[in-house]
Chain A
Amino acid sequence: MAHVLAVNPVPARSQMGSSLGFHIILACFGIAFAAVIMTAEWIGIRRGDAAAMLLARRWSKVMAVLVAVGAVSGTVLSYEMGLLWPGLMGRFGAAIGLPFSLEGIFFFLEAIFVGVYLYGWRRLPPWAHWWSGMPIVVFGILGALSVVAANSWMNSPAGYTLSHGKITRVDPVSVFFNASTPYETAHMVLAAYMVTAFLIAGVYAVGLLRGRRDRYHRLGFGIPFALGAIAAPLQVMMGDIIARFTATNQPVKFAAMEYVAKTARDVPEWLGGIFINGHVYFGASIPAFDSILVGFSPHTRVIGWDSVPAAQRPPLVTLIHLSFDLMVGLGFFLLALAAWQGWWWLFHRRLLVTAWFLVPSALGGVAAVAAMEAGWIVTEVGRQPWIVYHVLLVSNAVTPASGVPVTLGVILALYAILTGVSIGVPMIMSRRWRQETPAEEEAEQVPYGPAPAAP
């Protein structure tokens, strides 16, 4: 790969990273919020539970706001694919574009059914309304599959034929179902459920801590927490499987995740630590445990980053390793919370409401977000210097256009505003719900939703 132009990809990478890091949180709500709402509505209809129904109705309004902001940040990303990475899109757009097109369809459908669901609250019979929300759940997951498949393709490129640097044949099915797709998509969908569920539960944990212990707040905490608690063990298991897949599929990325400098057997597992000049400082190591995790035997050979020339190794191994450790650690923290509540429920059939449990639970959402962001750092920084693994270098894909530092600054400023909107709007709404009269709540307008009924 010859460097035709020496373009510094760092501003473009930072811009893509921050846009993606922002959008992914909203995307989680797009994927999983509907499932939380449907559960509440199901309980509401099935048991005639007014508190659950009210939660479902209010949550659906918050969902509308978040989906609206997510639509914007998603549009930004599709622009940026071209604005920042014309070298990728010009060469491989024909392959990577297909999953994106499908995602477009699924998002369109999701947005339409968000509209139907919001319109239907007082216009459809209860079960018909419940079913009108199901497409949001299904299309949310299908949309996630499509867009994550595009990212998986960058990790495991497949389904195309190159001749003289130009794509001459594309097999859409192999592009979509590349080797990484099943692992990455499952990991991301579970992550979306955890992020959404623990963030919502966290809001009501704060309410419970403040002494609002009515049924409304218990359900508002319990319903999402239960979904998160189901996803947490599945996620930890999935993570273990993916790590092993990465050890064979992208050994250099795995080496950076686990500080494996040299290919060896009896490789220790490092917990924490900073890698400087071939040494790990401030870390705890468990002898041979990395080998055991990779191949269930201490004698398993683990490939180190010395297997490739220095120019093909990812930068910032300390960042990759610590992000990986953070993700795993937070995953186990959430699993422990889930197990604690599960245990209590099994024997007492009641929600655990001690501060010892609620305070960490209130932080569970932030932990889930941090874990997910750390995971994306691991997979994206770990793939460097490649944009398409072993096929195209980031430096050959980045735009030669000047001005990226400027757009980076603008994007950061704008996303600060958007973050304010996506946190601020639900907060204003919740304050209003507590203070206003029901009639005012009735007349409330949200994106996608119907205009207040004319008399």
Chain B
Amino acid sequence: MSPSPDAIAVAAILIVVVAAYALFGGADFGGGIWDLLAGGARRGAAPRALIEESITPVWEANHVWLVFVLVLLWTAFPPAFAAIMTALFVPLSLSLLGIVLRGAGFAFRHTAQQLRMQQLTGALFAAASLITPFFMGTVVGAVVTGQVPVHPVGNVLAAWTSPTAILTGFLFVAACAYISAVFLVPEARQRRHEELTRYFSLRATAAGVITGALAGGTFAELSVSSPHVFARLTGVALPLVAISIAAGIAVLGMLWLRWYHALGLRIAAAIAVAAVVGGWGLAQYPYLFPTSLSLAAGSAPTGSLVGEFVVAGLALLLVAPGFALLYYLQQHRLLTAADTDADLRLAAELGQSAPGQAAAGPPATARITTALVLVILAIRAIRDLFASPRRQ
């Protein structure tokens, strides 16, 4: 039984969303990792400031990619979702722990003013950035190697502690650090900060080399642990693997030559990551779990798949313009002569409380009376609507 076209289409959407999360979420996590590695409060101040400044605007929206991955998986491929969530309970819980800690740090660090408190939330944030990608990597490694049973009866420790899974975990951490450092190079450059540009260029190169080495190691490991995936990676998915390698080398070349072309760097790094994700998806086909659960056996009925298709369309139709607007506002500082907080504070005469001051009395009575009348009418209407059939 070959999978239906809508199952393939939704699987493709899922891969696109995973790639988006790998890129944007990866850059986020990577930012946290470089924050962690930036050294003492004095020495690390400049890179930390740059990381904070360039990542903040897109930060939390990145969680939404993850939520989409989860929701797509459970709606379109429920058996796979249930099996993954059961067998990989431990690494998934640990990655969730990282997400919660990151979120708490994120919400609080803007408000924390004392250095001690900032250091604490910062450390929390940074450590969480390490935990989450690592354990997500082990989850992917477990799936790729087909170690997740289709009907698990409990946690499966062996699935996510295999050499392939652990290697994938490290690969994810390295890839996050890599993508983030590459993105930060042009950010530093745009701020005409030569020292930081070199700082992140050096780190991007190092992370790139390590990521490449880890990818090579994982690839070699796959030949033993997942022959199906390995065969397809060296077969039908080979062009994507080649593109990824080429893009990765291109990035390293640009950094080496100090040709910090902002768009070029970002696009090449994005292609390097996205092509790997795409290659992984293609290599797994036609299986959700190679080779125990096929796409055809694990996908939801047509109604759900079409529903997800509509949702994806809506996302494209609504979310993209919204993002565009936010981005536009971010880039163009549309300054108008609106009041500042200071003006408002003065005009509101805060601090000079006048106890006897009579509150303004505009005709709000009319509004409340209208509301009450409407409420009474609504009560009657709804009561009539629902009461009559029961009395019979």
Across the interface, do A401 and B61 meet the contact criterion of CB distance under 8 Å?
Answer: no
B322 beta carbon closer than 8 Å to chain A? yes
Chain B residue nearest to A214 in the complex (CB): B353
Across the interface, do B100 and A414 meet the contact criterion of CB distance under 8 Å?
Answer: yes
Residues of B within 8 A of A72 (CB): 63, 99-100, 102-104, 107
Shortest Cβ distance from B301 into chain A, in angstroms? 5
Chain A residue nearest to B317 in the complex (CB): A105
Question: Which residues 57-79 of B sit at the A interface, judged by CB distance below 8 A?
Answer: 57, 59-61, 63-64, 66-68, 70-72, 74-76, 78-79
Residues of B within 8 A of A213 (CB): 353-355, 357
CB < 8 Å neighbour of B301 from A94, A410, A445? A94
Inter-chain CA distance A120–B85, complex, in Å, is 41
- Most chain A CB within 10 A, of B76, B341, B368, B372, is at B341
Inter-chain CA distance A100–B93, complex, in Å, is 21
Inter-chain CA distance A124–B338, complex, in Å, is 8
Residues of B within 8 A of A160 (CB): 301
B41 beta carbon closer than 8 Å to chain A? no
A342 beta carbon closer than 8 Å to chain B? yes
Residues of A within 8 A of B81 (CB): 82, 86, 89-90, 93
Inter-chain CA distance A345–B111, complex, in Å, is 38
Once A126-B338, A218-B359, A244-B386 are accepted as A-B contacts, the answer to whether A69 and B86 lie under 8 Å apart by CB is: no
Which one of A30-38, A108-116, A373-381 is at the B interface?
A108-116
Residues of B within 8 A of A351 (CB): 359
Across the interface, do B74 and A172 meet the contact criterion of CB distance under 8 Å?
Answer: no
A237 beta carbon closer than 8 Å to chain B? yes
Chain B residue nearest to A339 in the complex (CB): B372
Shortest Cβ distance from A149 into chain B, in angstroms? 13
Across the interface, do A453 and B333 meet the contact criterion of CB distance under 8 Å?
Answer: yes
Across the interface, do A418 and B315 meet the contact criterion of CB distance under 8 Å?
Answer: no
Across the interface, do B61 and A112 meet the contact criterion of CB distance under 8 Å?
Answer: yes
Across the interface, do A109 and B311 meet the contact criterion of CB distance under 8 Å?
Answer: no
Once A81-B74, A104-B64, A403-B90 are accepted as A-B contacts, the answer to whether A215 and B365 lie under 8 Å apart by CB is: no
Residues of B within 8 A of A439 (CB): 342
Which one of A48-56, A272-280, A324-332 is at the B interface?
A48-56
B153 beta carbon closer than 8 Å to chain A? yes
Across the interface, do A349 and B390 meet the contact criterion of CB distance under 8 Å?
Answer: no
A234 beta carbon closer than 8 Å to chain B? yes
CB < 8 Å neighbour of A451 from B56, B307, B336? B56
Shortest Cβ distance from B314 into chain A, in angstroms? 6
Across the interface, do A350 and B368 meet the contact criterion of CB distance under 8 Å?
Answer: no
Across the interface, do A451 and B333 meet the contact criterion of CB distance under 8 Å?
Answer: no
Chain B residue nearest to A169 in the complex (CB): B301
A263 beta carbon closer than 8 Å to chain B? no
Size category of the B interface is 35 or more
B325 beta carbon closer than 8 Å to chain A? yes
B263 beta carbon closer than 8 Å to chain A? no
Once A95-B304, A122-B336 are accepted as A-B contacts, the answer to whether A112 and B322 lie under 8 Å apart by CB is: yes
Shortest Cβ distance from A179 into chain B, in angstroms? 13
Shortest Cβ distance from A163 into chain B, in angstroms? 11
Question: Which residues 246-304 of A sit at the B interface, judged by CB distance below 8 A?
Answer: 248, 295-297
Question: Which residues 80-112 of A sit at the B interface, judged by CB distance below 8 A?
Answer: 81-83, 86-87, 89-95, 97-98, 100-102, 104-105, 107-109, 111-112
Across the interface, do B339 and A98 meet the contact criterion of CB distance under 8 Å?
Answer: no
Residues of A within 8 A of B325 (CB): 112, 116
Contact with A along B89-112 (1 / 0, CB 8 A): 110110011011111101110110
Which one of B26-34, B273-281, B344-352 is at the A interface?
B344-352
Contact with B along A416-441 (1 / 0, CB 8 A): 01100110110011000000001101
Across the interface, do B391 and A296 meet the contact criterion of CB distance under 8 Å?
Answer: yes
Inter-chain CA distance A78–B72, complex, in Å, is 11
Across the interface, do A65 and B111 meet the contact criterion of CB distance under 8 Å?
Answer: yes
Residues of A within 8 A of B86 (CB): 86, 399-401
- Most chain B CB within 10 A, of A94, A168, A297, is at A94
Residues of B within 8 A of A222 (CB): 359
Across the interface, do A421 and B61 meet the contact criterion of CB distance under 8 Å?
Answer: no
CB < 8 Å neighbour of B75 from A101, A109, A441? A101
CB < 8 Å neighbour of A79 from B92, B103, B302, B371? B92
Across the interface, do B70 and A403 meet the contact criterion of CB distance under 8 Å?
Answer: no
A68 beta carbon closer than 8 Å to chain B? yes
Q: List 14 A-B contacts (CB under 8 A).
A: A83-B92, A93-B81, A95-B304, A97-B74, A100-B74, A102-B314, A109-B319, A213-B355, A216-B348, A244-B390, A400-B86, A410-B93, A418-B100, A447-B56
Residues of chain A having any CB pair with chain B under 8 Å: 5, 47, 50-51, 53-54, 57, 65, 68-69, 71-76, 78-79, 81-83, 86-87, 89-95, 97-98, 100-102, 104-105, 107-109, 111-113, 115-116, 119-126, 129, 135, 160, 167-172, 211-216, 218, 222, 230, 233-234, 237, 241, 244-245, 248, 295-297, 342, 345-346, 349-351, 399-403, 407, 410, 414, 417-418, 421-422, 424-425, 428-429, 438-439, 441-442, 444-448, 450-451, 453
Q: Which 5 pairs, one residue from A and one from B, show the smallest C-beta to C-beta distance?
A: A97-B75, A90-B82, A72-B103, A50-B347, A93-B78
